[in-house]
Chains A and B, each alone.
Chain A
Amino acid sequence: MIHGPHVDWFAISPSLSLLAATAALLMVAVFAPRAARRPVSALVCAAGFVVALVFAVVLDDRSAHGAAIVADAIFRDRWAATGQVLIAACGVVAVLISYGERMREENIAEYYALLAAAGAGMAFFVQASNLMTLFLGLEWFSIALYVLCAIDIDLVGSLEAGLKYLIIGAVGSATLLFGSALVYGATGQLDFDRIGAAGRGHDSLLVLGLAMVIAGLAFKSSAAPFHMWTPDAYQGAPTPVTAFMASATKVAALLVTDRLLLTAFPRDERLWTWAIAGIAIASLAIGNIAALAQRNVKRLLAYSSVSHAGFMLIPIAAANALGARALVYYLIPYCAMSLGAFAVVAARERELAAPVTLDNLAGLGWERPFLGVSMWVFMLGFLGFPLTGGFIGKFYAFAAAYEHGWWWLIVAGVAGTVVSAAYYLAVVRSMFMRDARELQLAPAGGSPPRDRPLELAVSICLVVTVGSFFAVQPLIDVAHAAARALPF
């Protein structure tokens, strides 16, 4: 009889609860009557994310001393648990946004099942402690997301989005896998810690592997020049899926990137800090400049997410404890702003039954003041204005870069922000300063039906975006606890 390793079931409870939700949802798809399918499946999915959230919070509380468990395959520590809290919270909000989406009744339960499966994969991915689990987690949530992108067959571009994401995502996964193989070849180790201990400096095989691993992960965080899929996939996918991808995927990919680089490649720190800084600058430049030319709001937000990947790579490139704190802090308002912004886009999309562009956003601010003001706050948050957590996030990222001694990285970030003012404020401008009547795009037939779950989602995002500006200390305490799991 083969003796399996000791399994710490509690440590993987967030993934397990989401997997359980997935299984239950597949049952719902088969057994629930068609009329009840939409509310029941949304409820089950939301319950799965809430349970995962609770488990992740408790896990965070009880994992003060980080350790590798289950035959050293996964980490049980606060870095991973904090990531799981964020992912589960994004999942809850994504379910709220999804509820009002027009989708075929027959595959609504599968939609939620895939959402929960993607969440489970991400929760597993952030815990990865060796190259095998890393790849497994990555594929797990990626495959769920490929299907989610293409799930709405009535939506023009949805299939195209899924296909593009699949092909380019597969290239990314293959790159990561090849890189992992090279790293394994160079060191003979799979565990992050042991790679770090075994790796000799200036080993060309290891460096090549490192480069490919960085590239593979950069595909997932949609950092330039690995962002090519982002605008198409974000634009074509159903908007709630885009919201989930823009927030949760970034959390998972960036947290894992930071941990992997710090634990497995400490000897090559000089190399990868420069590489990450280069990717950050490229993302800032490409994301911000390309966003200027966009008229489609989802596409615009996609490029904005590329530029924000650049922003969040700045603290990773800083490779210090302040940077790790900055990354965790930045992700909190960033997730809220992304989810909120895409939720507002989803609301407008449902109202007009057409892709949302800067032109048909006109007048939204006055027609639906709550959504308009919220969108305004999210745009100011992306821009890094005070009264939103985006400001403190940028401030921390810059502080981390300065502590590393790279003031030019701050200048790059600032230059990106100046450019981004033009397109973020273009959204505000079209919502408040242009009149829908002047463009003759006002929706016919009075005010649209209220979408309370979506409004709830937007309010949560609004509270987090603004609240993270005021309650910096508690959030930094959380980030501080998480960052202690990393070797500094």
Chain B
Amino acid sequence: MSHWLTTILIVLPLAGALVVWLAPLPRAWVGSLATLVSLLEVGVWIIALERFDFGSAALQLAQQHPWFRDLGVSYHVGEFAFSLWLVGLACVCGAAASAYAWWVGRERPRAYFGLLLFLEGAVVGVFSAQDLLLFYAFFEAMLIPLYVLIGVWGGAGRLGATLKFVVYTVAGSLLMLVAIVVYGLQQGSFDLTKTGTSANDWLFLGFALAFAVKAPLWPFHGWLPDAYREAPAEVSGLLSGVISKVAAYGFLRIAIAKFPGPAHDFRVPILVLASIGLVYGSLLAFRAPDFRGVVAYSSLAQMGLITFGLFAANDLGFDGAVLQMVNHGLITITLFLLAGMVERRTASGQLSQLGGMARGRPALATVLMTVGVMALAVPLSSNFAGEFLILAGVFQQYWLWAVVGAAAIVLAAMYMLRLISAVLHRAVGPAVSEAALDLRGGELAVVVPLLALLLALSAWPAAVSARVYPAGQALALAAGPGGALPGACGSAALAAAEAPRLDAAARPLACRSAGRADAVGASR
């Protein structure tokens, strides 16, 4: 039974999409059916979570079926601990998006909800695929619903936004296809659990560029502001909450795990890009004229931070990056949904038109304030835990990175507080009428569970961060025979890169505690 769970997680939303598209249901039922399916998906995920053994580094809940043999391609799915968390993020965000879209009552509901479910299935597929071609298939399949969701239901500038989005992502992902073909044929298999590591810089760059566009990392973020502004609110939430995590996951699972040498060689350039994105994104968020612009650019900054954690190449960084992926996913979808709710009340997202919404709207004020404060990583929030781990991890690479990251946290406080005050406080804006209601029951039913999850994670961030993989082993195993991470910690990093790869597999275990102690010492 267990080995079917991953397949069920992938197929359930896809089947739901087919039912929504093809079954002659009354229109009014479609939204509720889609929400039900996505809640059911969350339920299946909880069952998977319960059956998952976090003490084991092996691929679990796995299933394999040959697809075409002459090139060694198979339908191979399964979960590692970190991918299971991201699947959970996708399920929760998908459910929130469906529920919100149902509440809003999108036009052409059958097409809309079918596409939402299809998107959810494809995203779960990307996180679960253990075969490169399958991974690519799901990765590209995500683009189909996104293209239509933005292009049909988006705002006035939707056609330009979709064109930019598609051209950027197709260019990136086709480079990845080249890399996949070459890598798979070189290795003689496309199975991620069987292939070993490669030292080819070009292949690494092919993968890295695709993920850098999808994330996006500076300077590949050209599509981001338009797409995030024009898409329906819940689609923007999914884009920045879940789809960007696909890119981070790709870095983790493929670019870093399969190309340890190039990942080490390109670490400094990638960290430089990430820090530029971090600072530049934060500054743009501070200058953005509208609600969604702030969230969109803050997302660019946060992806820079997550990249920091991934390329810190030590346990602290990885743990922090995965925790931060979950945090940021939940925070950003909540913020985008709130942006949508504010826009519905005021018909404007321009901060100059908003203001003074706190008075008489306690629920909105409470929710926005709570999420905003978490987003700026106040101590005790889950974001704080994630960012702390990342900064501690990247500090071991070089102290300057941690300084940049810490500066970005200050900038995050600036743009989030500006957003909160521009929406909730100050004088009542011209677009805010007395008739603009507080959050309604339906909206609270979407946002409050997300908030509750964030509070739970704040209380117990180790629920995720300590279960990313057991003691530094999983990624080394995931890299297949002979594969291991070059990463190590602290001053050992240089030596580790030159040491035989097999030794490196054992090293993270030894320096895990030492690294933490260093980090704590350093942060003082």
Contact = CB atoms under 8 A, between A and B. Distances in A.
A270 to B, nearest CB: 22
B182 A386 contact: no
B178 A410 contact: yes
Nearest to A422: B167
B148 A399 contact: no
Contacts of B177: 394-395, 398, 414
Contact of A433 (B66, B137, B158, B182): B158
A481 interface: no
A429 B148 CA distance: 9
Contact of B141 (A325, A386, A394): A386
A387 B185 CA distance: 22
B408 to A, nearest CB: 33
Interface in B72-115: 73, 108
A394 B108 CA distance: 34
A385 interface: yes
Interface in B182-228: 182, 185
Given A410-B181, A418-B174, A429 B140 contact: no
A425 B144 contact: no
A159 B219 CA distance: 53
A385 B144 contact: yes
A480 B70 contact: yes
B67 interface: yes
B141 A476 contact: no
A476 B71 CA distance: 11
A417 interface: yes
B476 interface: no
A402 B148 contact: no
Nearest to B66: A473
B181 A476 contact: no
A337 to B, nearest CB: 16
Contacts, number: 81
Interface in A450-488: 472-473, 476, 480
Interface in A326-366: 366
B147 interface: yes
Interface string A410-447: 11001001100110010011001100000000000000
Interface string B45-69: 0000000000000000000001111
Contacts of B71: 396, 399
Most chain A CB atoms below 10 A, which of B68, B136, B137, B182: B68
Contact of A425 (B70, B166, B181, B182): B166
Interface string B139-175: 0110110011001100000110011001100110011
B107 to A, nearest CB: 11
A380 B152 contact: no
A407 interface: yes
B178 A476 contact: no
B405 to A, nearest CB: 35
Contacts of B174: 414, 417-418
A385 B146 CA distance: 14
Contact of A386 (B138, B159, B171): B138
Contacts of B108: 366
B254 interface: no
B133 interface: yes
Contact of A429 (B67, B69, B151, B185): B151
B171 A418 contact: yes
Interface string A382-406: 0001110001101110110011000
B181 A399 contact: yes
B128 to A, nearest CB: 15
A272 B143 CA distance: 38
Contact of A473 (B67, B144, B162): B67
B152 A433 contact: yes
A395 B133 contact: yes
B185 A403 contact: yes
B68 A402 contact: no
A461 to B, nearest CB: 18
Contacts of B152: 432-433
B71 to A, nearest CB: 6
Which size bracket describes the interface of A in this complex?
A: 20 to 34
Nearest to B136: A386
Interface string A108-129: 0000000000000000000000
Contacts of B163: 422, 425
B185 A433 contact: no
A399 B159 CA distance: 35
Contacts of A407: 178, 182
Nearest to A415: B174
B68 A472 contact: yes
Given A417-B174, A429-B151, A432-B151, A387 B68 contact: no
B156 to A, nearest CB: 12
A425 to B, nearest CB: 6
Contacts of B143: 385
Contacts of A325: 70
Contact of B159 (A395, A414, A433, A476): A433
B76 to A, nearest CB: 15
B235 to A, nearest CB: 15
A394 B177 CA distance: 10
Given A398-B181, A480-B70, A414 B175 contact: yes
Contacts of A380: 144
Nearest to B186: A402
A429 B136 CA distance: 24
B391 to A, nearest CB: 38
A406 B185 CA distance: 13
Contacts of A410: 178, 181-182
Given A429-B159, A432-B152, A473 B175 contact: no
B229 to A, nearest CB: 17
Contacts of A473: 66-69
B138 A476 contact: no
A240 to B, nearest CB: 29
Contacts of B133: 395
Contacts of A432: 148, 151-152
A9 to B, nearest CB: 35
Interface in B250-290: none
Given A473-B67, A476-B70, A399 B171 contact: no
Nearest to A329: B68
B243 to A, nearest CB: 16
Given A398-B178, A414-B174, A425-B166, A387 B67 contact: no
Contacts of A476: 68, 70
Contacts of B170: 417-418, 421
B187 to A, nearest CB: 12
Interface in B454-471: none
Highest count of chain B CB atoms <10 Å: which of A322, A386, A392, A433: A386
Nearest to A470: B67
B290 to A, nearest CB: 23
Given A417-B174, A418-B171, A421-B166, A472 B67 contact: yes
Contacts of B162: 429, 433
Contacts of B178: 398, 407, 410-411, 414
Nearest to A380: B144
Contacts of A417: 170, 174
Nearest to B67: A472
A434 to B, nearest CB: 8
18 contacts: A386-B137, A386-B140, A387-B144, A391-B137, A395-B133, A398-B178, A403-B185, A410-B178, A410-B181, A411-B178, A417-B170, A418-B174, A425-B166, A429-B162, A432-B152, A433-B152, A472-B73, A476-B68
Considering the complex of A and B, which 6 residue pairs feature the smallest CB-CB distances, nearest first? A386-B137, A472-B68, A433-B151, A414-B174, A398-B181, A421-B170
Given A391-B140, A392-B68, 15 more contacts: A385-B140, A385-B143, A395-B133, A395-B181, A399-B185, A410-B182, A411-B178, A418-B174, A422-B163, A432-B148, A432-B152, A433-B158, A433-B162, A472-B67, A472-B68
